[in-house]
Copies of this chain bind each other. A is one copy, B any other.
Amino acid sequence: MASRSIRLAVIPGDGIGPEVVAEGLKVLEAVAPAHDLKFEQTSYDLGAARWHRTGETLPDAVLEELRGQDVILLGAVGDPSVPSGVLERGLLLRARFELDHYVNLRPVKLFPGMSTPLSGVKPEDVDMVVVREGTEGPYAGVGGVLRKGTPQEIATQESVNTAYGVERVVRYAFEQAASRPRRKLTLVHKDNVLTFAGDLYQRVVQRVGQEYPQVATDYVHVDAATMFFVTAPQRFDVIVTDNLFGDIITDLGAAIAGGIGLAASGNVNPDRTAPSMFEPVHGSAPDIAGQGKADPTATILSVAMLLDHIGAPEAARRVEQAVADDLAARRGRPARGTAEIGDAIAERVAG
């Protein structure tokens, strides 16, 4: 059988980004042959160095090239030498918005054998998927500043939410919930304060929910949700929430599910009008960059999500299983470096 060729854009980025991406690619190459996959890689040098050199974050021409790819793997962006927000807004968020990644998919799953800061929590207690809206809400970039630097300064940020945007992400979340054994969808918002946006989410969940009678729905305020994450994570199966609340609760989710070194994510365009982008939830961690200490597992799990997205679920399960086996074998063993972990997992998927 001829192997299927996939155009893969790679954006290693800053800090530990290149190190963890190298291991993600190692695992991808290891799993590919057995599943008749071939990846044609193109690497894009976006991030802090490029910005310092040229002032560019995500130039239009690069964006157009990315549109021609099948899928994107991203490491991490951000560096203390660049003013806060420049790379985040100019590169990461620009890619999410321009490529219409309206689903930011973030599993929160505690693998057996992994430690969690919560006492008395078992792996089966932490197994949820957060479906975070990715292209609007408080991330819209709408806002401004008036009389900057004076005692009369006013700074605004506007959360923009549309029926169009909310309905498509809610629909995706219902599909996820319908495909999981527990079939439960929780809306997380703050509708008693953010009454306009919260009411829109509530009405859309109610309306779309009528098409999914097999899915039970409920609602939790975002403040209470953070409490449940640490006291009763088993309360959640699928969560749908807005861009900012999703950002916050998935970092907390990573913390309770074995740490940020394991948290994977997909910036998904379910309509496939542009390539989706997979990336670890963690940042560029400049403090440990270049030392070969970063855990590449989150990137490798993001590679598994990438494989699912391109229609190679067996390959995805194989990578996930290799990670699970590797994690189970970590207990009581000395810490390994970035490449050692990548090698071990690559060996498991190949072998």
Contact = CB atoms under 8 A, between A and B. Distances in A.
Interface stretch (A151-159, A295-303, A331-339): A151-159
A192 interface: yes
Nearest to A153: B163
A227 B247 contact: no
Contact of A144 (B144, B167, B196): B196
Residue of A78, A167, A244 with highest tally of chain B CB at under 10 A = A244
A161 interface: yes
Contacts of A179: none
A244 B247 CA distance: 14
A271 B227 CA distance: 33
A254 interface: yes
A193 interface: yes
A256 interface: yes
Nearest to A207: B149
A197 B161 contact: no
Contacts of A230: 117-118, 230, 252, 255-256
Contacts of A117: 118-120, 230-231
Interface residues of A, number: 66
A138 interface: yes
Given A153-B163, A154-B161, A157-B158, A223 B251 contact: yes
Contacts of A167: 151
A85 B119 CA distance: 35
Interface in A236-261: 244, 247-252, 254-256, 259-260
Given A227-B255, A248-B223, A192 B88 contact: yes
Residue of A196, A200, A203 with highest tally of chain B CB at under 10 A = A196
A291 interface: no
A139 to B, nearest CB: 6
Contacts of A222: 248
5 contacts: A93-B193, A154-B162, A223-B250, A231-B259, A248-B248
Given A139-B193, A223-B247, A226-B252, 4 more contacts: A85-B193, A145-B196, A147-B163, A157-B161
